[in-house]
Chains A and B, each alone.
Chain A
Amino acid sequence: GAGVSQSPSNKVTEKGKDVELRCDPISGHTALYWYRQSLGQGLEFLIYFQGNSAPDKSGLPSDRFSAERTGGSVSTLTIQRTQQEDSAVYLCASSPYGGRGLGYTFGSGTRLTVV
Protein backbone atom coordinates (compact mmCIF):
# COMPACT_ATOMS: atom_id res chain seq x y z
CA GLY A 1 0.00 0.00 0.00
CA ALA A 2 0.92 3.64 -0.17
CA GLY A 3 1.29 4.14 3.55
CA VAL A 4 1.80 2.37 6.85
CA SER A 5 -1.32 0.44 7.78
CA GLN A 6 -2.23 -0.45 11.37
CA SER A 7 -5.02 -2.66 12.61
CA PRO A 8 -7.29 -2.58 14.40
CA SER A 9 -7.81 1.17 14.59
CA ASN A 10 -9.54 0.80 17.95
CA LYS A 11 -9.41 -1.99 20.49
CA VAL A 12 -11.24 -2.27 23.79
CA THR A 13 -10.15 -5.17 25.99
CA GLU A 14 -10.71 -6.35 29.51
CA LYS A 15 -7.95 -6.12 32.05
CA GLY A 16 -5.89 -9.29 32.08
CA LYS A 17 -6.55 -10.25 28.47
CA ASP A 18 -3.86 -10.44 25.77
CA VAL A 19 -3.97 -8.21 22.69
CA GLU A 20 -2.18 -8.21 19.34
CA LEU A 21 -1.65 -5.08 17.30
CA ARG A 22 -0.62 -5.30 13.67
CA CYS A 23 1.53 -3.05 11.49
CA ASP A 24 1.98 -3.31 7.71
CA PRO A 25 4.93 -1.09 6.74
CA ILE A 26 5.59 0.49 3.38
CA SER A 27 6.92 -2.13 0.97
CA GLY A 28 10.70 -2.07 0.83
CA HIS A 29 11.19 -0.17 4.08
CA THR A 30 13.85 -1.99 6.08
CA ALA A 31 13.29 -0.23 9.40
CA LEU A 32 10.14 -0.50 11.54
CA TYR A 33 9.41 1.22 14.84
CA TRP A 34 6.73 0.98 17.52
CA TYR A 35 5.87 3.94 19.75
CA ARG A 36 3.27 4.51 22.43
CA GLN A 37 1.44 7.83 22.76
CA SER A 38 -0.12 8.45 26.13
CA LEU A 39 -1.91 11.59 27.26
CA GLY A 40 0.66 14.02 28.61
CA GLN A 41 3.58 11.67 27.92
CA GLY A 42 4.36 12.35 24.29
CA LEU A 43 5.66 9.52 22.15
CA GLU A 44 7.51 6.79 23.98
CA PHE A 45 9.80 4.50 21.94
CA LEU A 46 9.07 0.81 22.38
CA ILE A 47 11.01 -1.31 19.87
CA TYR A 48 12.94 -0.99 16.60
CA PHE A 49 13.56 -3.53 13.83
CA GLN A 50 16.25 -2.97 11.19
CA GLY A 51 16.55 -5.53 8.42
CA ASN A 52 17.70 -8.90 9.72
CA SER A 53 19.44 -7.48 12.78
CA ALA A 54 18.35 -8.29 16.30
CA PRO A 55 15.66 -5.79 17.34
CA ASP A 56 16.35 -2.96 19.76
CA LYS A 57 13.94 -3.77 22.60
CA SER A 58 15.28 -1.17 25.00
CA GLY A 59 12.00 0.77 25.18
CA LEU A 60 9.66 -2.09 26.09
CA PRO A 61 8.20 -1.15 29.51
CA SER A 62 7.83 -4.68 30.87
CA ASP A 63 8.12 -8.33 29.91
CA ARG A 64 4.39 -8.31 29.15
CA PHE A 65 5.27 -6.51 25.92
CA SER A 66 6.82 -8.28 22.93
CA ALA A 67 6.98 -7.78 19.20
CA GLU A 68 8.02 -9.70 16.15
CA ARG A 69 8.52 -8.92 12.51
CA THR A 70 7.96 -11.76 10.10
CA GLY A 71 9.80 -11.92 6.79
CA GLY A 72 11.09 -8.40 7.23
CA SER A 73 7.63 -6.99 6.63
CA VAL A 74 4.54 -7.22 8.85
CA SER A 75 5.03 -6.66 12.58
CA THR A 76 2.87 -7.67 15.53
CA LEU A 77 3.05 -6.04 18.95
CA THR A 78 1.68 -8.28 21.69
CA ILE A 79 0.68 -7.13 25.16
CA GLN A 80 -0.02 -9.93 27.61
CA ARG A 81 -2.20 -9.63 30.71
CA THR A 82 -3.17 -6.06 29.84
CA GLN A 83 -3.37 -3.44 32.58
CA GLN A 84 -5.27 -0.16 32.63
CA GLU A 85 -2.01 1.79 32.34
CA ASP A 86 -1.48 0.13 28.94
CA SER A 87 -4.32 2.27 27.55
CA ALA A 88 -2.76 4.49 24.88
CA VAL A 89 -2.41 4.97 21.15
CA TYR A 90 0.18 2.60 19.69
CA LEU A 91 1.92 4.01 16.63
CA CYS A 92 3.98 2.18 14.06
CA ALA A 93 6.41 3.81 11.64
CA SER A 94 8.63 2.54 8.86
CA SER A 95 11.65 4.03 7.12
CA PRO A 96 13.84 3.06 4.17
CA TYR A 97 16.96 4.23 5.94
CA GLY A 98 17.12 2.98 9.50
CA GLY A 99 19.26 5.81 10.74
CA ARG A 100 19.33 9.46 11.82
CA GLY A 101 15.56 9.73 11.95
CA LEU A 102 15.12 10.21 8.23
CA GLY A 103 12.22 9.10 6.12
CA TYR A 104 9.82 7.97 8.85
CA THR A 105 6.22 7.39 7.76
CA PHE A 106 3.77 6.87 10.60
CA GLY A 107 0.58 4.87 10.60
CA SER A 108 -2.66 6.24 12.06
CA GLY A 109 -2.25 4.14 15.17
CA THR A 110 -4.27 1.69 17.24
CA ARG A 111 -6.15 3.19 20.17
CA LEU A 112 -6.12 0.62 22.97
CA THR A 113 -8.49 0.95 25.88
CA VAL A 114 -8.19 -1.47 28.79
CA VAL A 115 -11.31 -1.59 30.96
Chain B
Amino acid sequence: QKEVEQNSGPLSVPEGAIASLNCTYSDRVSQSFFWYRQYSGKSPELIMSIYSNGDKEDGRFTAQLNKASQYVSLLIRDSQPSDSATYLCAVQTSGTYKYIFGTGTRLKVLA
Protein backbone atom coordinates (compact mmCIF):
# COMPACT_ATOMS: atom_id res chain seq x y z
CA GLN B 1 0.00 0.00 0.00
CA LYS B 2 1.33 3.42 -0.96
CA GLU B 3 1.88 5.81 1.92
CA VAL B 4 -0.12 8.66 0.35
CA GLU B 5 -2.68 7.88 -2.33
CA GLN B 6 -4.44 10.13 -4.77
CA ASN B 7 -6.50 9.48 -7.86
CA SER B 8 -4.28 10.50 -10.75
CA GLY B 9 -7.19 11.84 -12.82
CA PRO B 10 -7.55 13.81 -14.93
CA LEU B 11 -10.47 15.31 -13.07
CA SER B 12 -12.42 17.53 -15.43
CA VAL B 13 -14.85 20.12 -14.10
CA PRO B 14 -16.64 22.98 -15.89
CA GLU B 15 -15.69 26.55 -15.08
CA GLY B 16 -17.52 27.79 -11.99
CA ALA B 17 -18.05 24.31 -10.53
CA ILE B 18 -16.60 22.87 -7.33
CA ALA B 19 -13.57 20.62 -7.78
CA SER B 20 -13.08 17.98 -5.10
CA LEU B 21 -9.65 16.38 -4.69
CA ASN B 22 -9.07 13.51 -2.31
CA CYS B 23 -6.08 11.98 -0.54
CA THR B 24 -5.68 9.05 1.85
CA TYR B 25 -2.60 8.25 3.93
CA SER B 26 -1.45 5.14 5.73
CA ASP B 27 0.65 6.42 8.66
CA ARG B 28 -1.61 7.07 11.64
CA VAL B 29 0.96 9.27 13.38
CA SER B 30 0.96 11.78 10.53
CA GLN B 31 0.37 15.23 11.93
CA SER B 32 0.70 17.83 9.19
CA PHE B 33 -1.03 17.84 5.84
CA PHE B 34 -0.41 20.01 2.82
CA TRP B 35 -1.81 20.64 -0.63
CA TYR B 36 0.60 21.84 -3.29
CA ARG B 37 -0.29 23.00 -6.78
CA GLN B 38 2.09 22.30 -9.64
CA TYR B 39 1.66 23.83 -13.07
CA SER B 40 3.20 21.95 -15.97
CA GLY B 41 6.94 22.54 -16.09
CA LYS B 42 6.94 24.47 -12.83
CA SER B 43 7.78 23.71 -9.23
CA PRO B 44 5.18 22.84 -6.57
CA GLU B 45 3.78 25.73 -4.53
CA LEU B 46 1.89 25.47 -1.27
CA ILE B 47 -1.77 26.42 -1.37
CA MET B 48 -3.12 24.97 1.89
CA SER B 49 -1.90 23.40 5.10
CA ILE B 50 -4.05 21.75 7.76
CA TYR B 51 -3.08 20.28 11.12
CA SER B 52 -6.30 19.46 12.99
CA ASN B 53 -9.55 17.71 12.17
CA GLY B 54 -12.22 19.71 10.42
CA ASP B 55 -12.29 22.33 7.70
CA LYS B 56 -9.92 25.16 6.93
CA GLU B 57 -10.92 27.79 4.41
CA ASP B 58 -8.74 30.21 2.46
CA GLY B 59 -10.49 32.13 -0.28
CA ARG B 60 -11.87 29.67 -2.82
CA PHE B 61 -9.97 26.77 -1.23
CA THR B 62 -11.14 24.56 1.64
CA ALA B 63 -9.04 21.78 3.11
CA GLN B 64 -10.80 19.06 5.09
CA LEU B 65 -9.06 16.63 7.44
CA ASN B 66 -10.41 13.48 9.06
CA LYS B 67 -7.64 11.76 11.00
CA ALA B 68 -9.86 8.86 12.08
CA SER B 69 -10.47 7.99 8.45
CA GLN B 70 -6.93 9.02 7.43
CA TYR B 71 -8.38 11.23 4.77
CA VAL B 72 -7.68 14.77 3.61
CA SER B 73 -9.41 16.62 0.81
CA LEU B 74 -9.26 19.90 -1.04
CA LEU B 75 -12.30 21.70 -2.40
CA ILE B 76 -11.91 24.44 -4.97
CA ARG B 77 -15.02 26.58 -5.35
CA ASP B 78 -15.82 28.58 -8.47
CA SER B 79 -13.13 26.71 -10.41
CA GLN B 80 -11.27 28.74 -13.01
CA PRO B 81 -9.28 27.59 -16.04
CA SER B 82 -6.21 28.97 -14.24
CA ASP B 83 -6.77 26.29 -11.56
CA SER B 84 -5.88 23.62 -14.13
CA ALA B 85 -2.77 21.98 -12.69
CA THR B 86 -1.61 18.91 -10.79
CA TYR B 87 -2.49 18.97 -7.09
CA LEU B 88 -0.12 17.15 -4.78
CA CYS B 89 -1.09 15.98 -1.32
CA ALA B 90 1.79 15.84 1.18
CA VAL B 91 1.89 14.35 4.66
CA GLN B 92 4.46 15.03 7.36
CA THR B 93 4.98 12.72 10.30
CA SER B 94 5.27 14.42 13.65
CA GLY B 95 8.83 14.94 14.81
CA THR B 96 10.39 14.26 11.43
CA TYR B 97 11.44 16.33 8.47
CA LYS B 98 10.04 13.75 6.11
CA TYR B 99 7.28 14.91 3.76
CA ILE B 100 5.65 12.12 1.78
CA PHE B 101 3.90 13.15 -1.40
CA GLY B 102 1.07 11.48 -3.27
CA THR B 103 1.29 10.99 -7.01
CA GLY B 104 -0.93 14.00 -7.62
CA THR B 105 -4.31 14.57 -9.25
CA ARG B 106 -4.42 16.38 -12.55
CA LEU B 107 -7.28 18.89 -12.61
CA LYS B 108 -8.70 20.33 -15.82
CA VAL B 109 -11.14 23.21 -15.58
CA LEU B 110 -13.05 23.54 -18.83
CA ALA B 111 -13.96 27.05 -20.01
Q: Do A and B bind each other?
A: no
Interface residues of A, Cβ cutoff 8 Å to B = none
